[in-house]
Amino acid sequence: MSEAQAQRVIEVTSGEVCCSQSWEQAYLRFETPEEERRKFLRRLRALGATGWPRDAQVVELFCGRGNGLAALAELGFTRLEGVDLSASLVAQYRGPAQCYVADCRHLPFPDRSRDVLVVQGGLHHLELLPDDLVRTLEEARRVLRPGGRLVVVEPWLTPFLRFVHAVCEIRLARRAWPKLDALATMNEIEAPTYLAWLGRPREIVALLRERFDPELLRESWGKLHFVGRRPST
């Protein structure tokens, strides 16, 4: 590698770290841990989590600081694990779950070894669509037992989200509402992946349906809600 190429690698890596840190700071401003935990509790109940066996082996992918794991524990699940690429966010988790700093495209679990995989706002961070999504879904299918569930909640371009985007463009609104400013900042930092995700709804739903048998598929209030079962074959 030439000196110029090496410098370019350093610059790119530094830029990625800077963006990651900026996004994480905005994320921490957007919701307190308690607010996020309560949101996840409401969401999991709406997705049918109270009907899952409490001894199920549940993994939260893109688990961040672990508030989804805290919500799952509050619902009575005891065999919990989390996976996230950010060591700094994982380090903030305090709870009984085993957490791994790992890439969700290469999960650190054996074949057919888990019962439920939960994703609450991580797939839209994938850099390459559809390739990275295909790899992540294939990994999810690989580690789930037959009949196991994949649960996905992701941003979706409903009329409500279009309205939120419009309000984010109003500087006065951002100054008056710190939560809105944090959301707008996160959207700006992750714009390449976020906009790519929002721009491919049919393809994304088709990929989910191809690999999992839908129990629930709903688009509302700026979110896609999907619960699918892994086929037995």
What is the end-to-end Cα distance of the chain in Å, rounded?
A: 46
Read off the pLDDT of residues 118-162 as tens digits, 9 standing for 90 and up: 999 999 999 999 999 999 999 999 999 999 999 999 999 999 999
**pLDDT score of 3:** 43
Mean pLDDT across 8-14: 32
What are the structure tokens assigned to 174, written together?
């951002």
Read off the pLDDT of residues 41-96 as tens digits, 9 standing for 90 and up: 999 999 999 999 999 999 999 999 999 999 999 999 999 999 999 898 899 999 99
**Closest alpha carbon to 117 in 90, 97, 141, 89:** 141
- Model confidence band, residue 13 (pLDDT cutoffs 50, 70, 90): very low
Distance CA 160, CA 168 (A): 13
Taking the complete model, does pTM exceed 0.85, yes or no?
yes
| CATH number for domain 3-229, candidates 3.40.50.150, 3.40.50.460, 3.20.20.450, 3.90.1570.10 | 3.40.50.150
Is the pLDDT confidence value at 17 over 50? no
The ranges assigned to domains in the chain are: 3-229
Residues 229, 231, 233: CA angle, nearest 5 degrees: 165
| Three-state SS letters, the chain | CCHHHHHHHHHHHHHHHHHHHHHHHHHHHHCCHHHHHHHHHHHHHHCCHHHCCCCCEEEEECCCCCHHHHHHHHCCCCEEEEEECCHHHHCCCCCCCEEEECCCCCCCCCCCCEEEEEEECCHHHCCCCCHHHHHHHHHHHHHEEEEEEEEEEEECCCHHHHHHHHHHCCHHHHHHCHHHHHHHHHHHHCHHHHHHHHCCHHHHHHHHHHHCEEEEEEEECCEEEEEEECCCC
**pLDDT score of 27:** 81
- Model confidence band, residue 10 (pLDDT cutoffs 50, 70, 90): very low
**pLDDT score of 16:** 43
